[in-house]
Structure 1
């Protein structure tokens, strides 16, 4: 009988790339790392660090080598996203900079686009129903559309959802997600091109729960996802990794159940909320697969969680990390973050799934 297996592999230990609250996108077998903080609320360099996911080699692109092309300032709590319909462009939006943590993206309606082939940034004008500036939001891609959700504006936390067409460069406001508003959540695109899934976040306290947005029907549903084998589902968390796979991964056990997403780590309950990223918290080291179930009675699949126990060495517990779908499309890449000693980390790992 086929068995779902998982394994962690350390890509590299990057002592010169220790940071948290940064952004990461993967395309063409490489992880592109940008922004973040080494000291709380003090942005690090604005370089683009390029990590080869296979061999761990690292190169750096800086504004000084950009041939006078525009270059974004360093960001804390921004998002860097690869388009699933292009293997050369990355999109940077939002975040904060400076000790006062003022928003770097406002109603000006621009988004930064990075061409990984030409190694150049371009500030692109957008139009439509533009989202307000914020940090610690989440952004994912489905086809030629980016979806931007939640985050922290100048005051409070948001539950809004916007889409940006990369064809027309026009924003649209979509129905807001179930409350409360939150920062540090993750929204990811599930395989199949129809559903977005959200888990966790922080609203002054840690959140759990699975919420799914139907892109076609333009509506949210809160899901009661069971747990394979019984027991409790994933504990509440924020600033974690949660990625949808490129294609469904059939368990091969005749049940028809398929892995559609993978979640790992993050900050857990009982962290000193008044400190935020100024102080050490408490973090998860666990990982879960999200399964979809075949059903003939609903357009929305049923979902369940499967706790997985990866083989090999494992990364230390952490949150405030950067993550993205692995080059294989069956796993996730994580880099950096904050640990329970209140230290910023520089190691990079990949967690891969297979059915054997």
Structure 2
């Protein structure tokens, strides 16, 4: 496995943390986050092309989420979903568990009203999709850092709680990222904050492919290094992309790395 830095030009987003990036086909979509501490930068949707390395801002319609930090986002087909996060300036202030969809072809936002109990209010969590389902992991809740796991079925518009991994296998954390493995057989948990910035990576196999098994992973090349509050996504060919975040010196980053899991 090996990391490499990606080129960036065009309407490049400012350095930020606590945002999200989501890959759909050959494009990457960035939403939210903070440049100044605890101040949401807005609700603009940025689009990045892997083909030419150019950023642009989309002209969105509908009801967007209010500006927020520490939310999570993932895509099913050509629809982007954004869940939770907080809008307040103080830790825990304005925490939410709302769910929005963004239809990319029409650039339209919709606020959803799902069935079933949603995940508790949280921020600094992570979310990804496998098939028609969204998975939400961890974050900061009222009782501290979490490592719980929830699933949202986009076809039935329903939330359900799943079994959490053990605290020994994957400690509760915020500012981490959960991304799917190639072939939809499992999920990667990457770095995050558990009292300090982490540079670890774990793989969690989904129940239908062998059941709830965790293992730690290591990679060569130029590592992104310890960081939290960053964003990550998986490309169609199974590579992992990491963008921005906070390093161990509490500095905001604008770098971007890609991990070839087959190298």
Q: Tell me if both proteins adopt one fold, taking TM over 0.5 as the criterion.
A: yes
1:24 is displaced (CA, Å) by 0.7
Q: Which residue of 2 aligns with 1:24?
A: 21
User: What is the TM-score with the length of structure 2 in the denominator?
Assistant: 0.83
Q: Is the 8 A contact 2:13 2:46 kept in 1?
A: no
Q: Is the 8 A contact 2:99 2:111 kept in 1?
A: yes
- For the pair 1:129 / 2:123, whether they are aligned, the reply is no
- 1:229-244 aligned within 5 A: none
Change (3 A) 1:59 1:334: same
Distance in structure 2 (CA, Å) of the matches to 1:217 and 1:23: 27
3-state SS in 1 of match to 2:42: coil
Q: 2:221 aligns with which of 305, 309, 317?
A: 309
Q: Which residue of 2 aligns with 1:325?
A: 234
Q: Which residue of 2 aligns with 1:275?
A: none
1:294-315 Cα deviation digits (max 9, x unpaired): xxxxxxxxxxx4x3226xxx87
3-state SS in 2 of match to 1:171: strand
1:152 is displaced (CA, Å) by 0.5
Q: Is the 8 A contact 2:197 2:226 kept in 1?
A: no
Q: Which residue of 2 aligns with 1:145?
A: 133
* Number of matched pairs: 258
Q: Is the 8 A contact 1:174 1:218 kept in 2?
A: no
Q: Which residue of 2 aligns with 1:181?
A: 172
1:221-263 Cα deviation digits (max 9, x unpaired): 343x5xxxxxxxxxxxxxxxxxxxxxxxxxxxxxxxxxxxxxx
- For the pair 1:75 / 2:68, whether they are aligned, the reply is yes
Q: Which residue of 1 aligns with 2:184?
A: 193
Distance in structure 2 (CA, Å) of the matches to 1:116 and 1:354: 30
Distance in structure 1 (CA, Å) of the matches to 2:227 and 2:82: 24
Distance in structure 2 (CA, Å) of the matches to 1:193 and 1:6: 22
- For the pair 1:166 / 2:154, whether they are aligned, the reply is yes
Q: CA RMSD in A?
A: 3.0
3-state SS in 2 of match to 1:94: strand
Q: Which residue of 1 aligns with 2:208?
A: 216
- For the pair 1:100 / 2:99, whether they are aligned, the reply is no
Distance in structure 1 (CA, Å) of the matches to 2:210 and 2:111: 29
Q: Which stretch has the larger CA shift, 97-106 or 196-205?
A: 196-205
1:93 is displaced (CA, Å) by 0.3
- 1:277-356 aligned within 5 A: 290=217, 305=218, 307-309=219-221, 319-326=228-235, 328-339=236-247, 342-352=250-260
Q: Is the 8 A contact 1:34 1:74 kept in 2?
A: no
Q: Is the 8 A contact 1:43 1:76 kept in 2?
A: yes
Q: Is the 8 A contact 1:336 1:347 kept in 2?
A: yes
User: What is the TM-score with the length of structure 1 in the denominator?
Assistant: 0.63
Distance in structure 2 (CA, Å) of the matches to 1:60 and 1:13: 10
1:79 is displaced (CA, Å) by 0.9
Over 6 Å off, 4+ runs: 314-317
